[in-house]
Structure 1
Amino acid sequence: MKIETEARERHVLTVLVDNEAGVLAKIAGLFTARGYNIDSLTVADINESHQVSRITIVTHGPPSQIDQIRAQLERLVPVHKVIDLTEQGPYVERELALVKVAGTGEARVEMLRLADVFRAKPVDTTTSSFVFELTGARDKIDTFVALMRELGLVEVGRTGVVGMTRGAQGS
């Protein structure tokens, strides 16, 4: 039995790839084949011609494993560039969540009050429920969901992390 001595670190990787069928499967397969976990995964095309997509992957591992992931991603044919935002310098990271809650009376008033505090926007309202849209850091969303759980949480949908470097320079 091998004992892992390196500390596990959270890393946010952005991967620029050709926007074509099977690319995401290749990347997910790379992680699966080596037993690496993906904590969060988002994908969207990023240019007018729809030829390039940005994949944002959040993963954990010791530095040597993260280096190996980067090297293996860079060798895949449809990959243009791999950036470890965590090591690149200052970066912005956000997540979007839709949070459905149900309740009446004082619980409903408290839901609206908390939504205001967290800058969550009601995007659907009925007489007995709300769906709130919330963007921000993972911790902010986790806290909002935990508070709503006490008031009548019904359902949560989350996008996963997207991120990019700060400043005028592109990735």
Structure 2
Amino acid sequence: MLHTLAVLVENNPGVLTRVAGLFARRAYNINSLSVCQTENPGISRMTIVVDGDETVIEQVSKQLHKLVVVHKVVDLTKETVVDRELALVRIKVKADTRLEILQIVDVFRGRVVDMGRSNLTVELTGDEEKIDAFVRTIRPFGLMELVRTGKIAITRLDS
């Protein structure tokens, strides 16, 4: 099962290496990883998606807490969250397929950010399922390149 961990860490050089090294030493694969400074310039937030059962996630959380640079670890998997990914997708286009591709981009609420004679680049945001569905739909036209940020997530709070 995929788990999404929110990890608050010190915003210092080498922290990412230490956290990623912890996963590597235990042979746990990171499915996606996103890191950015928070509203506090001294703290960064890592959103880590990792595959494992409850025992694995508990062990990873305990190991992360042992690192001095880690302030907090939260498993967001069972929380109500808002999550998104960003994808940039370069698609091969021909004169006879351009309009159909643009219609598909519109259906998925994507945005063309670059266009050439033989390709276009689309920006798409949404959850993992939406990005995957877009990629499956567009692949037959000629998927040239795909870049994804990985998941970012924030808990949903009651007003």
Give the TM-score, by structure 2 length.
Answer: 0.95
Q: Classify the secondary structure of the residue corresponding to 1:32.
A: helix
CA distance in 1, matches of 2:56, 2:21: 16
| CA displacement 1:131-163 (0-9 Å, x = unmatched) | 100000111111111221111211011001100
2:26 aligned residue: 34
CA distance in 1, matches of 2:113, 2:29: 33
Q: Classify the secondary structure of the residue corresponding to 2:151.
A: strand
| Correspondence for 2:47 among 50, 56, 59 | 56
Q: Classify the secondary structure of the residue corresponding to 1:36.
A: coil
| Correspondence for 1:12 among 1, 4, 26 | 4
| Correspondence for 1:152 among 142, 151, 155 | 142
CA distance in 2, matches of 1:131, 1:166: 32
Tell whether 2:72 aligns with 1:96. Answer: no
Q: Which segments of 5 or more consecutive residues in structure 2 lack a partner in the other structure?
A: none
Q: Which amino acid aligns with 1:24?
A: L
| CA displacement 1:75-126 (0-9 Å, x = unmatched) | 1101111110013x21111100000112122311111000000000011112
Report how many residues are paired. Answer: 159
| Correspondence for 1:126 among 102, 116, 119 | 116
Instruction: Give the superposed CA RMSD.
Output: 1.3
Q: Classify the secondary structure of the residue corresponding to 2:124.
A: strand
Q: Classify the secondary structure of the residue corresponding to 2:18.
A: helix
Q: Classify the secondary structure of the residue corresponding to 2:45.
A: strand
Q: Residue 127 of structure 1: CA displacement? A: 2.7
The runs of at least 4 consecutive aligned structure 1 residues that moved more than 6 Å come to none
Q: Which segments of 5 or more consecutive residues in structure 1 lack a partner in the other structure?
A: 1-8
| CA displacement 1:21-50 (0-9 Å, x = unmatched) | 1101110110011111100001111125x2
CA distance in 2, matches of 1:80, 1:129: 45
CA distance in 1, matches of 2:136, 2:96: 18
CA distance in 1, matches of 2:81, 2:65: 21
Matched-pair identity in %: 47
1:81 aligned residue: 72
Q: Residue 55 of structure 1: CA displacement? A: 0.4
Bigger Cα displacement from structure 2, 100-109 vs 89-98? 100-109
Tell whether 2:54 aligns with 1:68. Answer: no
CA distance in 2, matches of 1:112, 1:120: 9
CA distance in 1, matches of 2:105, 2:156: 28
